[in-house]
Amino acid sequence: MTHLRLPAPAKLNLMLHILGRRPDGYHELQTLFQFLDYSDELIFSPRSDGQIQLLTDLPGVPSDSNLIVRAARLLQQATGCTQGADIQLVKRLPMGGGIGGGSSDAATTLLGLNHLWGLNRSLAELAELGLKLGADVPVFVQGQAAFAEGIGERLTPVELPEPWFLVAIPPVSVSTAEIFSAPELTRNTPASTVRTVLKCGGRNDCQPVVEKRYPEISNALILLNKFTSAKLTGTGCCIFGAFSEEAEAKAVSAQLPEDLPSFVAQGCNESPLHTALKAQIEISSYLG
């Protein structure tokens, strides 16, 4: 195989409840994850010298800290694999956006290199490895819309409607660690069941904290709420609203001011990464 090109899709947290804080500082939460058909892209080419080279510079992120390089090295260590790779990144997902860009890049790297290097590791093994890189990585590895518990790693797959989402990107970057360490964050929401959440929805406990600290986000929510019910994803900065028709979402997107960029993408219960990998595997077996 000469190279492998795969998407690293965004996610939305359709609700996010914080139940408590563990002794290690991580938070027990309940969240509903759905993927978006809107992705970074990664292109992997094999190297025989064992080196991992990220060919694309990501401003502000040294290569050794990039989750792509960290995921590739973790996979080498865990499997004893001596192969390497050159990796290119086409970055589309806003960083610090709450749509999981870094975590998704990490998951695509784990699945992509598992395939390229012929390691045959299961999704469960790769998800366990991914959790070492971040709480959001396992859902991207498993690739199914899910109700997540624990710190985000205990996943129950769910079937959700797949509306069109308008995602607006207020011009601020929010640090996840900052919001989770805010003293004023609600940390005692009672546990719910997946059934209740699917029936009644839920809120994002991070939203009041983020709105207070980032007026740009609170103003964007006021604006989008004029068209549809809008909510924060993760710890922000992105906000979203659902529409049954793509054209309707695009018409609203076109009416937003220039300083509030946005995109429209469909919600997906199967990750576009898994759809692309299945197609890739079919092509490989066809070509022998």
Ligand X SMILES: C[C@](O)(CO)[C@H](O)COP(=O)(O)OP(=O)(O)OC[C@H]1O[C@@H](n2ccc(N)nc2=O)[C@H](O)[C@@H]1O
Query: How many Cβ atoms sit within 10 Å of the Cβ of residue 226?
Result: 9
Identify which range of 116-124, 134-142, 208-216, 263-271 contacts ligand X by CB under 6 A.
134-142
Pick 84 or 98: Cβ nearer ligand X: 98
Which tokens in the block code for residue 139? 């859902």
Minimum separation from the CB atom of position 155 to ligand X (A): 12
Of the ranges 57-65, 79-87, 183-191, 204-212, which one interacts with ligand ATP (CB under 6 A)? 57-65
Stretch 175-204 residues interacting with ligand ATP (CB under 6 A): 176
Instruction: Report if residue 130 touches ligand ATP, rule: CB under 6 A.
Output: no
Least distance to ligand X, CB of residue 133, Å: 7
Compute the Cα dihedral for 101, 105, 110, 114 and give only its sign.
positive
Q: How far is the CB of 182 from ligand X (least distance, A)?
A: 11
Q: Check binding of 105 to ligand ATP (CB under 6 A).
A: yes
Residue 63 in contact with ligand X, rule: CB under 6 A: no
Q: Is 112 annotated as a binding residue?
A: no
- Does position 98 bind ligand ATP by CB under 6 A? yes
The CA distance from 107 to 34, in Å, is 15
Distance CA 147, CA 247 (A): 29
102 in a labelled binding site = yes
Q: Annotated catalytic residue: which of 37, 40, 105, 136?
A: 136
Nearer to ligand X, 10 or 252 (CB): 10
**How many residues contact ligand ATP, by CB under 6 A?**
20
6, 18, 113, 136: which one binds ligand ATP (CB under 6 A): 136
- Residue 234 engages ligand ATP in binding (rule: CB under 6 A): yes
When asked if residue 87 is in the footprint of ligand ATP (CB under 6 A), the reply is: no
* 151 contributes a contact to ligand X by CB under 6 A: yes
In a 13 Å sphere around the CA of 146, the CA atoms on its Cβ side amount to 19
Q: For tokens 């740009």, name the residue.
A: 216
104 is in an annotated binding site: yes
If one asks whether residue 142 binds ligand X (CB under 6 A), the answer comes out as: no
Integer CA distances (angstroms), 49 to 3, 57, 82, 83, 86, in order: 16, 21, 8, 6, 11
The contact set with ligand ATP (CB under 6 A) reads 58, 61, 65-68, 95-103, 105, 136, 176, 234-235
Which residues are annotated as catalytic? 11, 136
